[in-house]
Amino acid sequence: MDDTLLAGWRSGDRGAGEQLFERHYERVDRFFTNKVSDPQDLTQRTFLACLESVERYREGRSFRAYLLGIAWNVLRNHLRRLHARASPVALETSSIRDLGQTPSELAAIDEEKQRVRLALQRLPVEQQTALELYMWEELTMREISNVLGWPEGTVKDRLRRAKHRLGELVEDLRPPLTPR
């Protein structure tokens, strides 16, 4: 479906481009939701960057992974720009909380989901992003490799470590059991 819409868009069919963006808007917005206080701004920047670079997209690859790769670059640039005056930002070790970002309001749908979201925000940005791409966007190892620019073996190793750390953080956020 994406390839058909993309081909139409490249041929000048503006409606196909709009459909393609509508199809992926929620996904890109969700990518930013747990990382910044104003996800809509970065979502718009992502689609603008896609518009400007659509000719670089290679046929046969996942458009979804291509778009999330752009989102990843927009996020990295945003975080580095925010902290340009301070020491360099190390996304492989810094969490959103470390970087002083205010997380968007967490919907109190249920406590376990809230704990997972809070735990995700305590992971280093790279681990958080890799886990979200894997768990929520259901990207393959190859697609995550393309998005983040890591070798596939590195993706597998970092995902394994991130899942383990996420489990620890979720447990740390559980309220202590109180005796009756």
Read off the tokens for 82.
Answer: 């925010």
Domain boundaries, the chain: 2-173
Read off the tokens for 124.
Answer: 């280093």
User: CA-to-CA distance for 5 and 59, rounded, in angstroms?
Assistant: 12
Q: What is the pLDDT of residue 64?
A: 92
- The 10 Å Cβ neighbour count of residue 52 is 10
Q: Which of 147, 105, 140 is nearest to 126 (CA)?
A: 147
Beta bridge partners of 52: none
Handedness of CA 88, 40, 115, 148 (dihedral sign): negative
User: CA-to-CA distance for 28 and 41, rounded, in angstroms?
Assistant: 11
User: CA-to-CA distance for 165 and 158, rounded, in angstroms?
Assistant: 10
**Mean pLDDT in runs of 10 for the chain (180 residues)?**
87 90 93 86 91 82 91 90 66 71 39 79 92 89 93 94 90 73
Q: What is the pLDDT of residue 102?
A: 43
Q: Which of 67, 77, 69, 89 is nearest to 148 (CA)?
A: 69
- Give the Å distances, CA to CA, from 158 to 13, 48, 139, 149: 40, 30, 15, 13
Q: What is the pLDDT of residue 109?
A: 32
CB 36 within 8 A of CB 129: no
Q: What is the CATH number of domain 2-173?
A: 1.10.1740.10
- Give the Å distances, CA to CA, from 36 to 31, 78, 108, 124: 10, 10, 18, 14
Q: What is the pLDDT of residue 105?
A: 35
